[in-house]
Amino acid sequence: MTSLISNLILLATFSVAGILLFGLLNMSRSGPVKLSQKLMRWRVGVQFIAICLIMASFYIHGV
């Protein structure tokens, strides 16, 4: 169970980083503004999931 949550935390963390970098790259190249806004909204959602997984991990481990 803990390895599953650990893997999900890693996946969510790398997803947040990837979405953030892609969104910043799009903004720096003067890409479509709507795409940048959509990517930043997705980043916030995935970041929320990552934080929930981290808190669940703390709860399971009894920290």
* Cβ 37 vs Cβ 7: under 8 Å: no
Residue % of the chain over a pLDDT of 70: 97
Interval 34-55 mean pLDDT: 93
pLDDT of residue 43: 93
The span from the CA of 34 to the CA of 27, in Å, is 10
Instruction: Give per-residue pLDDT as tens, 10-36.
Output: 999 999 999 999 998 998 888 888 988
User: Which has the closest alpha carbon to 39: 62, 31, 7?
Assistant: 31
Judge whether 12 and 50 are in contact, CB under 8 Å: yes
**Whole-number pLDDT of residue 3:** 86
Mean pLDDT of the chain: 91
